[in-house]
Structure 1
Amino acid sequence: MTSVPDLTEILENSPSNWGKWGPDDEVGSLNYLTAEQVLRGVSLIKRGDLFTLQRLIGDPKGDPVWPGRTPATKEMVYDESDWDEGGDGPQFPGGLHYADDKLEAFLQGSTQYDALGHVWFDGKIWNGYDARTTIGGLQKASVEPIANRGVAGRAVLLDLARWRGVDALGPKEAFSHEDLQACAAAQGVELRPRDILLIRTNHLELFFQDADGFYADFGEPGLVYSPELVQWFADMEIPNLVTDTIANEVTHDPNSGAALVLHNALMRNLGIAFTEICDLEKLAEDCASDGRYDFFYVAAPLKIHSASGSPVNPVVIK
């Protein structure tokens, strides 16, 4: 059996943004989204049409999640039956009844932002913070600073599935930064420094067609690691990578066999925010219809103290 190299070996000379925004930074490449970038995105609003990108939590057709996680479960606490005879519904003056429910869910089990401290190797998370700061909750680089800051700017949809002429990319299907550039050129949209990148694979459609088959030999399509790809992301100063897959990259690197190399090269080392499990279908249809693949993107995860991720409902405005 061929041994898998350690991430310390794979990423030995990989570029890093540690210290670029000071020793206390916790939002990384989102610092690139200055007021100028926000206004550049706002200038793209022409029609005022909104597209929300969150997938439904508790979808009757199922919730796609990373293996080992479980879908969210929602429990009704009070509904009209609690005021039936013998029920225990609270009694309020005037006869008020109400519905109440609660959710139990992995914070990264739906459309979500990763905290920059979500993954690591060699005992260090984003910006060089000690990985032991994650024990019992992220004391550094949690999702809370991203939630406090918010995310907004010019964004570009790269419709890889449509560009490759398929309904959905298949398991383990890889693509590179050069493919992103070629896709953008075919769509007639310019990729500019500090753009938020949205990548459509429509791979989760395969989950909804056959959930058991989807997990049988789990391996998502996505970007595949290369030193050139990481350098391109660094040079382009990409602040945020947004996809419709569970993990934003090919699950196991086809060259080294290592898992989630780009989570470490892009998120841990460069501080690029990852947004995952988005529903890009309505947006993609609209972009194909009007030929405009750049737009204003705005999002903010929930403010959850010391959390490694948070649900989010990003909004695109065209």
Structure 2
Amino acid sequence: MNISIKQLRAFLALAEMENFTKASELVNLSQPAFSALIATLEQEIGFRLFDRDTRKVQLNFDGFYFIELARNLVHSYDNTIENIKRYANGEEGCITVAVLPSLAVKWLPEVIAKFYLENPEIRVKILDTQWDRCLHAIIDNSADIAIAAGTPTLKDIQAELLFSDDFYLICHRQNELAKKDSVQLKDLEGQQFIAFSQGTSIRLYTDQLTQLYNIQYTMEVRQLTTMMGLIAVNQGVSITTGLTLFQFEHDNIAIIPFKDLSLKRAVYLIKKKERQLSQQAEKLYNFIKNNNIKD
């Protein structure tokens, strides 16, 4: 069965006007062309839709059944065309963003909230995962853009520096280091150091420090909340970044800046080098790049 939208619109016009001349004018067709559409529609579906006399054309029993189907089909078609137009204009669609969990808790939601003010029809799917998985999500096309730390070295990706995030010492208030206004890296020697687990972005940086100073890992955790709990009961010290400090706002925890730590966590905006972003993803990419989000 091959029914066209043009035939359905002609049928709906005739059902409304109950007159071939008026209905053909409504859809801007000549009466012979209009009559041919109705005839071929009835031939295609296998039954008549109208009772005709010299004065009026009216829906018959089968026509009343068919009209609801026709309305639904035309409505669905019109909505589909409108959605295609909106997508083509970058007004609608879904974007997948791979992002570090530490950025997905507070930083990214603030970004998305601002973006939605200007683009309420675009949906964003957030894939919060480790930095290496953020990169692979770009490579295997399971994410449109990524926001990750470290220096991306994969040849298939394009990375732009967004900002650099400072590191801070976190420790229990009873720890001797809590008395200091600022600390040096050598102050960590001999401390029970709780590390973030392999694959996390902060671990990339603390591994560099252990090569330069006598810092020994005594425990490893993956989640910020777990780290907060251990520090709060005085099980060790650790290093975290400025964007995660809100997670460590606890009566028992001291947050202390470093006086000699030039090392910063670089946060990059990433996309696949040879893949053209959709208009929607391009909007979000440029929004993040061009707005001073960190502040």
Q: Which interval holds the TM-score relative to the shorter structure?
A: under 0.3
The structure richer in strand per residue is 2
Q: Say which structure, 1 or 2, has more relative contact order (CA 8 Å, 6+ apart).
A: 1
TM-score normalised by L of structure 1? 0.20
